[in-house]
Amino acid sequence: MKSIVKLEHLSHKYSSAWAIRDINMEIGNTGIVGLLGSNGAGKSTTMNILCGALNQTEGNVFINGINLREQPELAKQQIGFLPQTPPLYMDLTVDEYLRYCAGLRQVPKEKLKPAVKEAKERCGIDHFSNRLISNLSGGYRQRVGIAQAIVHRPALVVLDEPTNGLDPNQIIEVRSLIKEIATDRAVIFSSHILPEVQILCKEIKMIENGRIVFSDTMDAFNNYVEPHSMLIHLENPPSAAELAAIPGVTKVAFLTERQVRVHFNGDQDITEKVVAISIQKGWRLREISLDKSALDEIFKQLSSQNPQSHH
């Protein structure tokens, strides 16, 4: 398999502290790779170096076999980048902005119009061509941001927290857009939100304290993740067996007389089911809260199991 990205012994320090240390990774030609890590773990530093926005202290970056330091222009032609804050010019129309971006990306004059049109169509913003970016909703601004990242047809698209600050509907739309883009190129998708990465990515790279603590398929990763669970407070609780009979529930544990921890499979609608059954059976549900998947726990577990991440 030819790799589109290869990082060799990548390290970077700001003044005296290392932000990332000895990062090695390879990424194949298509599909979505999740870059996961808590805030401050070194994700953005890695992405900024990978996209040529920051010069690393040590190590090498190869994009499609081209050394980014030695031939920056050639390497960057292969990359599309959407930073955490989309680099939008609010007083331009969608068309003006994308034409400007395509020009920056050295798209030849005769190919400019079709390139802009294709990016707009893929991102579903064709009907906003003449609208000022300042008049677009957050979700559509994000689409414009993604459009500028693909306007020059790069082999690699790097998206830093692309669903940040969007409402649930917008998140679903941007997700399907990212999936669509990844059919014929590689996408690196950075997030600190585990479910986002689980839904989208086939492969996952996890950075913690500037080092890679996990690099494998999503299936391998899911073996580490605690099953989903929630806490329920019922004034009139049924037996554990009755709760366990709810479709999707895998395990039930009473913590107090009225407080139960319920483990369930990945069923997204489980809370609605529990609420509905509780009303129907008069269990008098007072409170229901999902346990935040304990990312820190997983990081700890992975770090301790991963001696090679502490050279």
Give the pair of three-digit tokens for residue 183. 């059919």
Domain 228-290 in the same topology as domain 5-222: no
Contact of 233 with 258, CB cutoff 8 Å: yes
Interatomic CA distance for residues 131 and 212, integer angstroms: 42
Do residues 29 and 182 lie in contact, with contact meaning Cβ atoms separated by under 8 Å? no
Give domain limits for the chain: 5-222, 228-290
- State pLDDT tens for residues 204-230: 998 988 999 889 988 887 776 655 778
Burial class of residue 144, CB neighbours in 10 A (0-12, 13-18, 19+): buried
Under CATH, which architecture does the 228-290 domain have? 2-Layer Sandwich (3.30)
What pLDDT score does 229 carry? 77
Kindly report, residue by residue over 157-211, the tens digit of the pLDDT: 999 989 888 888 888 888 899 999 999 899 999 987 777 888 889 899 989 889 9
Per-residue pLDDT of the chain (311 residues; tens, 9 = 90+): 578 999 999 999 998 889 999 999 999 888 999 998 877 888 889 999 999 999 999 999 999 999 999 999 999 999 999 998 889 999 999 999 999 999 999 999 999 999 999 999 999 999 999 999 999 998 999 999 999 999 999 999 999 989 888 888 888 888 899 999 999 899 999 987 777 888 889 899 989 889 998 899 888 877 766 557 788 889 999 999 999 998 888 889 898 888 888 888 766 677 788 888 999 999 998 887 766 555 556 666 666 655 444 33
Determine the topology of domain 5-222 in CATH.
Rossmann fold (3.40.50)
Cβ-contact 218, 259 below 8 angstroms = no
* E-strand stretches of the chain: 5-14, 17-27, 31-36, 58-63, 66-67, 79-82, 156-160, 186-191, 203-208, 211-217, 228-234, 249-254, 259-264, 285-290
If one counts every other C-beta atom within 10 angstroms of the C-beta of residue 195, the result is 12
